[in-house]
Chain A
Amino acid sequence: AAGVIQSPRHLIKEKRETATLKCYPIPRHDTVYWYQQGPGQDPQFLISFYEKMQSDKGSIPDRFSAQQFSDYHSELNMSSLELGDSALYFCASSPNAGNTEAFFGQGTRLTVV
């Protein structure tokens, strides 16, 4: 069965550079969520989208932006990268039909050096 696809799986960037993380949800899933998991930390909710509109926002820095496109894939853009942005970034998707399960991708590991 198709799963949530995230790319790239690993990314190394230097401080002050920009990074773009991509998330391809499960087919027919119209809702996407982004989470950030720092080393040894619990995942923190960043932002979510439903039908290409931002549906909720968490602890996402102003340096980050995200959007969901017409094919429902989503991109997380991160600018002026800092060492503290090094983390595992998870994307999850779900159909927006009540209390339905979200499925997580394997994550993108971003390392800022």
Chain B
Amino acid sequence: GNSVTQMEGPVTLSEEAFLTINCTYTATGYPSLFWYVQYPGEGLQLLLKATKADDKGSNKGFEATYRKETTSFHLEKGSVQVSDSAVYFCALSEGYNFNKFYFGSGTKLNVKP
């Protein structure tokens, strides 16, 4: 079946620190991979995506590369800001229903000034 495993949080960093949130997946076919961000009291917002192996998704300084050989899609950012504090969800979708997501458990990021 399909599943996503991501590192547990919370992750606490100082401003300008380097961020990595690990995400690995299990899928029966050829999934598309996503990172969603959820700010307090808000809905989920798409941060970035990659639809095939070796693709790199990037947005707002965040990057993630679709690694089929390691079934991973780790999220990275070189220099985090306080405004990046949120919960980050790794997700996959597969097949004809592109927006039917299997989410990871979410990683809460706290960035301190």
Q: How far is the CA of A105 from the CA of B44 in the complex (A)?
A: 8
Interface residues of B in 81-105 (CB under 8 A from A): 89, 97-105
Contact of B22 with A by CB under 8 A = no
Q: How far is the CA of A102 from the CA of B104 in the complex (A)?
A: 17
Q: How many B residues are at the interface, by size bracket?
A: 20 to 34
Q: Report if A55-B97 is in contact (Cβ < 8 Å); known contacts: A42-B89, A42-B104, A43-B89.
A: yes
Count chain A residues whose beta carbon lies closer than 8 angstroms to a beta carbon of B: 25
| Chain A 18-58 near chain B by CB (<8 Å), digits 1 or 0 | 00000000000001010100000111110010000001101
Cβ-defined contact, A31 with B99, below 8 A: yes
Which residues of A have CB within 8 Å of B99?
A: 31, 33, 48, 92, 94, 101-102
Which residues of B have CB within 8 Å of A45?
A: 100-102
Contact of B46 with A by CB under 8 A = yes
Cβ contact of B43, chosen from A90, A94, A99, cutoff 8 A: A90
**Number of interchain pairs (Cβ within 8 Å):** 51
Q: Nearest Cβ distance between residue B64 and chain A, in whole angstroms?
A: 16
Q: How far is the CA of A55 from the CA of B46 in the complex (A)?
A: 22
Question: What are the 7 closest A-B residue pairs judged by CB atoms, nearest first?
Answer: A102-B99, A104-B43, A42-B103, A104-B44, A106-B43, A56-B97, A99-B98
Closest B residue, CB atoms, query A43: B103
Interface residues of A in 66-113 (CB under 8 A from B): 90, 92, 94, 98-102, 104-107
Cβ-defined contact, B105 with A107, below 8 A: no
Could you list 16 further interchain pairs (A-B, Cβ under 8 angstroms) beyond the known A43-B44, A102-B99? A31-B99, A42-B105, A42-B106, A43-B89, A43-B101, A45-B102, A48-B100, A55-B97, A92-B99, A94-B98, A98-B98, A101-B46, A102-B98, A104-B43, A104-B45, A105-B43
